[in-house]
Chain A
Amino acid sequence: MRVASAVATEKEGARVVIASEQPQAQYFLRELIEGVGQAVVVAQAPNASTALAVTRHLRPDVVIIDCYLPHVIGMDRVALSRVGGLDVAEAISEEMPKTRVVLLNNMDTVAPLDRRFSSDPNSVYSIESMGAKLTFIPSEVEYDKVVASPIIFANISAKAHTPPVMKGIKPGDKIMLLGGSGIVVGWILILTIMLAPIGLALVLAGGLTVSFTLAARMVSSWWRRIRQPKPSSEATVKA
């Protein structure tokens, strides 16, 4: 069981405990939760008994539990030794009502648990409840009417990741290419001595083109950044 030594601040996101028997599943969930940058996993528990003890000790914001969790130890081929998730979810929600409990119900069918996946916000996997993606945002938790129940019954959702469609070269890139080509051709002409004046003109024109294009991109990026709305200070656990 790994326990983070530092207490997460509001900046780092919600403090989350994960409870799942398989190390691959723990790693998968950790990457999934921390990948979106709004939560930090403070502990991982392999069984219900440890999950309850850790939650009592750390008082996390959220506990995510695999429904197929053994009480103390899972026996290899005995499926009934691994049905303790709902029990510990209920125990935690009764004992610590401020801790949000998420019960994952399809870890047995989510594949592939052992692969590393991108922590990109548009990643393939997400945790969903009632068709809506769960996000873990720190403190000031406002309970949405949809998640009024003490336990959030959720699933890992796998969406097919479609790579962005290449629509051809952008105009800005074309202009930069033109400018760069002008510089190269200009230098070649300079080397011929006879056409040096033309070459010099081409180098200057190409250099100015590239510089203006880069400057325009920087200004455009800065403008987009300052016009972006700031995130709200009120936080919700959405479902």
Chain B
Amino acid sequence: MIAPQTLRECPLFSGLPYAALEKIAGLVVEKEYEPGTIVLREGESAEELFIVQEGKVALQMTLPIPEGQMSRKLTADILTRNEILGWSAIVEPYVYTLTAVCLQKTKIFSISGAKLRWLLEDNPKIGYELLKGLIKVVASRLEETRQLLIAERSLTLKPE
């Protein structure tokens, strides 16, 4: 079992009390992936939530192929230490929205989505704190995406 304090470094769990971290630490399974391994696929049933400990993971989304486009897949982000992926495991409809590919040898904490949801339902206070953390993570990613959108638009609208 991992040390509960380790989970506190992840923004998702940073607001939880030690007792809650202990319970969640009991659900964690440590996994290692080789470079190029797909950790989760877009469209698959979201059964696990992951926290990156070492290495890098690229999040890709699949796009239809219009004429002249470079690739069918586009990388949306590259995750590093203490960043989470697969939070769809605790949010309906429990389906992964992106594909995650390891770019380096990666160590990941994996938490069963079903067991975590059961824990959150059984302990509403923990559930509330965890969801607060999740909203912060999602809001942060939304903000980064917004910045990118604005920056790209301002480039195209720049007067010559």
Q: Using a CB–CB distance below 8 Å, which chain A residues touch chain B?
A: 48-49, 52, 67-68, 71, 73, 75, 77-81, 83-88, 90-91, 103, 105-106, 129-130, 149, 151, 153, 155
Contacts and interface: CB of A to CB of B under 8 A. Distances in A.
Nearest to B56: A105
B70 A87 contact: yes
Nearest to B34: A130
B148 A78 contact: yes
B35 A75 contact: no
B126 to A, nearest CB: 31
B5 interface: no
A85 B103 CA distance: 11
A80 B70 contact: no
Contact of A130 (B35, B77, B148): B35
A83 B152 contact: no
Contact of B75 (A49, A84, A149, A153): A84
| Nearest 6 CB-CB pairings of A with B | A153-B35, A75-B151, A105-B103, A91-B71, A80-B148, A83-B75
B97 to A, nearest CB: 16
Nearest to B150: A78
Interface in B64-88: 70-71, 73-78
Interface of A is mostly: mixed
Contacts of A52: 70
A179 to B, nearest CB: 57
B104 interface: yes
A68 B58 CA distance: 11
Contacts of A77: 147
B101 interface: yes
Give the interface size class of chain B.
20 to 34
B26 interface: no
Most A CB contacts (10 A, CB to CB) among B56, B70, B102 go to B70
Interface of B is mostly: mixed
Contacts of A149: 36
Interface of B: 34-36, 56, 58, 60, 70-71, 73-78, 101-104, 144-145, 147-148, 151-152, 155
Contacts of A151: 36
A80 B73 contact: no
B36 A83 contact: no
B70 A88 contact: yes
A86 B103 contact: yes
B147 A78 contact: yes
Given A88-B71, A103-B103, A83 B56 contact: no
Nearest to B148: A80
B60 A106 contact: no
Contacts of B58: 67, 83, 86
Given A80-B77, A86-B75, 4 more contacts: A67-B58, A83-B78, A87-B60, A90-B73
B24 to A, nearest CB: 29
Contacts of B78: 67-68, 83
Contacts of B147: 77-78, 80
B121 to A, nearest CB: 34
B46 to A, nearest CB: 22
Contacts of B60: 86-87
Nearest to A80: B148
B103 A73 contact: no
Contacts of A48: 70
Contact of B70 (A67, A73, A91, A129): A91
Nearest to B80: A108
A77 B150 CA distance: 12
A72 B9 CA distance: 35
